Structure formats: structure tokens, C-alpha cells
Amino acid sequence: MYLAKESKTYEEGVKHFEEVCKIVEKSNKELGSRLRDRIPNYLAFLKYPEEVRKHIYTSNIIESINAGLESIRISLGGYFPSENAMEINYYLQIENLNKRWMKKPIPMIKAHSYELKQIHVMKYELGETEE
């Protein structure tokens, strides 16, 4: 999987991912087939500029939200007093992260913002699909 993630091109990533699928299929044919069917989803980040890929494929955003909620839960004595309290704290976590991102965007993403906007326009606004 590491080779697929670190590939320079989408095509190279597909080649490496196919090798993983073959290995998985030896022990679980159904899972290997499902992985193969979803290759475009798993490797979509390889279609973006190389400098921004690491910011696209990670789950750091979700982990940051969960860590913030966990910290609040612990400070409240180990649990949220109600579901409403948890939802309010979740909302506040999202708002705080959004404010932080707006104040100081990731420099590499900002540097490639024009290119990323063009990718978005081609895919969603003009409706072009890759075959």
C-alpha cells in the first residue's frame, strides 16, 4: 500500500494497488475484488498536485475533532451530561477549527489554489469525466 500512496502518477499507483489486490485475493477473493472495484476512490488523491496530496489523503482533521471532543469529555468528568451538550461541543470544535484554518491556511494548499479550483471546475462544473 505504501508504494501506491507514494506513487508519482495515478497510473503508477494503480499498478501498485493492483499488486496489493492480487495478494489479498489469494486469501479472500471477495475482498480483493471489492478493493479492485474501488481503486479510483482509494487513489483519487493521486490526481492532485504532488505537493498537496498529503493534506488530502490523511484523516488528521477527523482525528483533531475527536481529540478535542475527548478532551472536553474528560474535563466534564468522563461523560457529556446530555446528547445536546455533546452536539454543542461538537459544533464548537468544528467552528474553532474552521476559524484556525481561515486565519492561517496551509501554505502548500494556498500556493496551488488556482490549480485545485481548475480541477474542481473541470470535474464538477463542466461535468467532464475521465474514462
* pLDDT, tens digit, 9 for 90 and up, residues 92-108: 888 887 887 777 777 88
pLDDT grade, residue 120 (50/70/90)?
confident
pLDDT digits (tens, 9 = 90+) for 65-90: 888 888 888 988 888 899 999 899 88
Q: In the predicted model, is pLDDT for residue 40 greater than 80?
A: yes
pLDDT at position 125 is 81
**Number of residues assigned to the chain:** 131
Radius of gyration of the chain (CA): 20
pTM of the model: 0.57
Three cell numbers at 105? 491556511
Which residues have C-beta within 8 Å of that of residue 75, sequence separation ≥ 6? none
pLDDT at position 27 is 94
pLDDT at position 20 is 93
